[in-house]
Structure 1
Amino acid sequence: MIRMRNRLAVAAAVLLIAGLLIPAGVWGAPKSELVVVSGMWSPPNNFSPIFTDSSYGYYCVRFMFQGMVEARLENNQMKFFPALAQKWEIGADNQTFTFTIHPKAAWHDGKPVTAEDVLFTLMTISDPRTQTNRGAEIATIAGLDERGKRPAGGQLGVRVIGPKQIEIKTRVPVDPTMFLERVGNNVYILPKHVLGDVPPDQLARHPFMLNPTVGSGPYKFVQYKTDQFIELVQNENYHNGVPNVRRVFVRIIPPTTMVAQLERQDMDLSAGFGIGEIPIEDWDRVKGMPHIRAVTFAGPGYQYMLVNFQKAYLQDKRVRRAMAHAINRQLIVNQLIKGEATLAEGPIPPRNPYYNKNVKPWPFDTARARQLLVEAGWDFNRTLLLRVPVGNTIRERSADIIRENLLAAGVKVDIQKSDFPTHIAALQQGNFDMALLGWAGPTDPDVSSQYRTGGQYNYSYHSVAQMDQLLDEGVKISDPAKRRAVYDKFQELFADELPIIVLYYQNARNAIAKRMTNVFDDAAGLYDFRTYTWVAGTQ
């Protein structure tokens, strides 16, 4: 792969870029140090800032759209940096949050980003007619229910102070860190002047969600070549500083061919945790590439097995506990991931400051699993359906181990594989007994969207009153120490009820071209191309 050797060549590359330096499908063409090619496993469903139901979509969305702040976990502490907001103030009551938008913050069409855009976004998400998965993020705002929706006649606790200033009030005092992460960082602002006249129930299917030409982030949308690549270009008017990288290509690359792309230098980095990691069987090969820096770090997410509570025969927790005993999770970690993972029995990762280290995984014990099944009156002639999405080869292989383990305990299992959109549709329809999935959530320990009754991602369809009570209590406490005590209890209850069976918390495995420097070796850093610089003359 030819690299530009001097500044004159780079200047020439800029001219080439204006006409698309890397044509579709010609990834071996010369790249300048102004272009980055990232690779992820699967295509996005859409680019909706308020409703894309996969991490593949959000990987692209966060380049083009922003929230009020940016969150980053540093030394086990959450820190916040300006995004659309230039500054923010937290009231002494821990209920009032005032954001001042950067005076130069603008949409990609040149219109200013205003407080009205923020109000419009929050009103849209909280409208019961809107299809969105951001409701749980804003549910603490005054006037909203636990789903983040406005009851009939309800008033949203948001006030526009001026064109660039907005005040948001919560129902009760809250932990400011939780609010800034959930509302400030996780809610991407929509352009009111583009979408303001679209009926809320039509937003999810609006053409804008597949062609988001008006964002506010450091990169602008150019095109999406279906199932091939997404192209983004530098926002030269970005208010927080023009990004170093001129153009970004996010390619759809199956895990089986990702390493070959790295070897040919047709890809600069893997997209990251859960959506574009290096297959474990290729990890040693990647570590030996002289032009690649191979990095690992404790990831924020986990792989798990859903158990469908809508099925009467799966509602007895002795059955779910039997499954937890039956699955040899350590074997999965050792055999499929070469030990690059940690076992746990809850949805809060070991790297999280709210992790309860006293909650241990149920040990592998086939005999105990069968005993629990007998006690629960299990029908050993029944065959369960285990749904598995394709794309993540480790997850696909783990399904075979799970089937063998469960059969050894007396549970018959059929595996059905499908692409990710089909898989999610089946979960939403409750068309499964068990299903494999992954999750990487925020640092804040509130997991209501997954584990509260009626939660947006409660694909197990479980309903445990005590769990709901603890989750509701946790978001209403502003003191971190008192919150920790609540989430300690929640994790203990979770391990007892087993609404899902956590398989493991995997370490992230990422490849980064050595020609790029100033890349943070964590999940957030792999998204932030603005900071990247280059080693002169590298290939």
Structure 2
Amino acid sequence: MRKVLLYMLKAGIREFFAESEEIMRKERRWKKVLSALVLAAAMGVTAVGCGTSGGNTGSQPQGENAAATETAEVSDDIVNIGVTNTLGTLNPLLMDGGETNKYATSLMFLPLVELNSNLEFEGEIADSVTTEDNKNFIVHIDEKASWSDGEKITADDVVYTALRLTSPVIGNTSMMYYVFEGVGDDGFTEEGAESIDGIKAIDDATVQFTTKEEMSLTTFENSYARYLMTLPKHVIEQYTEEELKTAEWFNHPDVVSGPYMVTDFDVDHYISYKANENYWKGAPKIAKLNIKIVSGSQLYAGLQSGEIDITQPTMSVIPEEDYDSVEALSNVNVVYGEPVTNQSVFIQTKNVPDVRVRQAMLYAIDRKMVLEQLLKGKGEVADGFLSSASPFYDDSIVPVEQDVEKAKELLAEAGWDGSQTLRFYVNSGDSAFVNAANVFVAQWAAVG
């Protein structure tokens, strides 16, 4: 019987009420950091291999995403990862902070560092990242690091990639390089720039990153070193910056630093990989890999039939109503991990300027009830950016309890009469979000 591993991570639930646009901007960065931690925790155990296929039968995926199972190859020699997040691009220069994009891209182009299963940073292309003053970060490239064509990975490759990521022509707004010297507050250098004051090659194997303000080593590694997917300068410097945005090369790169190379993909349905036999860390033991992009409702059918081998939380949203069915599958091992990822509700302070109204919205809701009834107790309620899985978690912070009378009192003080209209946007692809949102709306209505 095929042995399949499924990851359904405990979800930490919290409410964070942003008090300014600056906090909102920082939160966007931390959302990227937190979701990356989930991936690291899950991927620490997804290396468990599949057994031989036992000819499982079951319902087949239906609908438009069924093309993924029709086109992407399925066999005992291939691992199929089911994801519900869409793939925006395979071009690291256009990549956003989404985990599907990061994972799909980093299989070909390694980041400088990555988190291991213990949430510790370890080198990928870099073998060390150090700082003495929290402003100058020294990245040293592993002497064994090489491209699949045999060329060494150098500091020039790293600097070249960073320069392209800050180019206003390419226009990537997600990487937030405005923290580095020589980069504008908009995250870009001047058009045509040939260097960045804050990102320089010291020698062939060393790059110095200099920030405008002090930054912890953890933040540098988690927000920047994990997301810089170094590209082979000697291969793609032939393209202009305008051409780099649409170059077909990124869809089937013939020179990579990572363990896999793309063989085929459909941006809406699947990505197929083959092992990079020249991988400098050793050829992968899994010869072929597929990422299948499906709807959440198709994950159960794919796991049941054996057409999906692995799901994991940052890229695969299993509908809450399917949890029991998935756990009941005889060919699936369900593993609950630590409560690493946090879900947040943001309030636009421009539309709700009175802090008493925002506080009332927090007092009105029963997060414990959502945890127990919608998530079956698999998680925790937390206030702040971090869950208890973080080494920086402060257990002295006690989450705000529901207090309906306090909520009504605050609304009365603020002169709130209930005639105002508030718009609440929710990710409709996740039934847990939708159900929680319905609960919150009802509880807000109950206090006026």
Alignment of 1:141-160 (within 5 A): 141-144=180-183, 148-150=187-189, 155-160=196-201
CA distance in structure 2 between the aligned counterparts of 1:338 and 1:131, rounded to whole angstroms: 43
1:395-425 CA-partner distances (Å, limit 9, x unpaired): 1222211221121122xxxxxxxxxxxxxxx
Query: 1:132 offset after TM fit, Å?
Result: 2.6
Aligned to 2:42: none
CA distance in structure 1 between the aligned counterparts of 2:363 and 2:210, rounded to whole angstroms: 45
Query: 1:331 offset after TM fit, Å?
Result: 1.8
**1:391/1:378 CA distance change after superposition, 3 Å:** same
Which of 254, 261, 269 in structure 2 is aligned with 1:228?
269
CA distance in structure 2 between the aligned counterparts of 1:341 and 1:267, rounded to whole angstroms: 26
Query: 1:35 offset after TM fit, Å?
Result: 0.9
Which of 377, 383, 404 in structure 2 is aligned with 1:339?
377
Which of 340, 343, 365 in structure 1 is aligned with 2:403?
365
Are 1:192 and 2:236 counterparts?
no
RMSD: 3.3
SS at match of 1:307: coil
Aligned residues: 383
1:440-472 CA-partner distances (Å, limit 9, x unpaired): xxxxxxxxxxxxxxxxxxxxxxxxxxxxxxxxx
Aligned to 1:80: 121
**1:155/1:269 CA distance change after superposition, 3 Å:** closer
Aligned to 1:378: 416
CA distance in structure 2 between the aligned counterparts of 1:30 and 1:130, rounded to whole angstroms: 37
In the superposition, the TM-score normalised over structure 2's length comes to 0.74
Which of 124, 130, 148 in structure 2 is aligned with 1:90?
130
Alignment of 1:229-248 (within 5 A): 229-248=270-289
Greater strand share, structure number: 1
Aligned to 2:84: 41
**1:366/1:106 CA distance change after superposition, 3 Å:** same
Aligned to 2:58: none
After TM superposition, where is structure 1 displaced by more than 6 Å over at least 4 residues in a row?
Answer: 27-30, 151-154
2:288 counterpart letter in structure 1: R
**1:186/1:53 CA distance change after superposition, 3 Å:** closer
Alignment check: 8 A CA contact 1:325 1:365 kept: yes
CA distance in structure 1 between the aligned counterparts of 2:378 and 2:102, rounded to whole angstroms: 25
Aligned to 1:290: 330
CA distance in structure 2 between the aligned counterparts of 1:30 and 1:172, rounded to whole angstroms: 50
CA distance in structure 1 between the aligned counterparts of 2:445 and 2:131, rounded to whole angstroms: 57
1:234-266 CA-partner distances (Å, limit 9, x unpaired): 111111111111111111222222112111111
SS at match of 1:388: coil
SS at match of 1:357: coil
Are 1:266 and 2:307 counterparts?
yes
**Structure with greater contact order relative to length (CA < 8 Å, sep ≥ 6):** 2
Are 1:58 and 2:96 counterparts?
no
Query: 1:118 offset after TM fit, Å?
Result: 0.3
SS at match of 1:384: coil
Q: Give unpaired runs (5+ residues) of structure 1.
A: 4-8, 11-22, 411-539
Between stretches 184-193 and 37-46, larger displacement belongs to 184-193
Aligned to 2:297: 256
**1:342/1:89 CA distance change after superposition, 3 Å:** closer
1:119-174 CA-partner distances (Å, limit 9, x unpaired): 012222334554335544x5554444666544899942333244444343445665
Q: Give unpaired runs (5+ residues) of structure 2.
A: 4-51, 54-66
Alignment check: 8 A CA contact 1:139 1:148 kept: yes
Query: 1:389 offset after TM fit, Å?
Result: 2.3
CA distance in structure 2 between the aligned counterparts of 1:350 and 1:327, rounded to whole angstroms: 22
**1:245/1:157 CA distance change after superposition, 3 Å:** same
Are 1:219 and 2:246 counterparts?
no
Query: 1:269 offset after TM fit, Å?
Result: 0.8
Alignment of 1:389-428 (within 5 A): 389-410=427-448
Aligned to 1:415: none
Alignment check: 8 A CA contact 2:320 2:431 kept: no
Aligned to 1:453: none
Are 1:31 and 2:71 counterparts?
no
2:80 counterpart letter in structure 1: V
Alignment check: 8 A CA contact 1:102 1:239 kept: no
CA distance in structure 2 between the aligned counterparts of 1:43 and 1:135, rounded to whole angstroms: 19
Query: 1:110 offset after TM fit, Å?
Result: 5.7
**1:24/1:120 CA distance change after superposition, 3 Å:** same
Alignment check: 8 A CA contact 2:404 2:447 kept: yes
CA distance in structure 2 between the aligned counterparts of 1:353 and 1:120, rounded to whole angstroms: 34
1:66-106 CA-partner distances (Å, limit 9, x unpaired): 112222252xxx53333123x33636555351412444510
Alignment of 1:164-175 (within 5 A): 164-171=205-212, 174-175=215-216
SS at match of 1:383: coil
Between stretches 195-204 and 185-194, larger displacement belongs to 195-204
CA distance in structure 1 between the aligned counterparts of 2:346 and 2:365, rounded to whole angstroms: 13
Are 1:67 and 2:111 counterparts?
yes
Aligned to 2:10: none
In the superposition, the TM-score normalised over structure 1's length comes to 0.63
SS at match of 2:297: helix
Aligned to 2:387: 349
Alignment check: 8 A CA contact 1:143 1:157 kept: yes
Query: 1:180 offset after TM fit, Å?
Result: 3.2
CA distance in structure 1 between the aligned counterparts of 2:120 and 2:2, rounded to whole angstroms: 39
Alignment check: 8 A CA contact 1:273 1:299 kept: no
SS at match of 1:386: coil
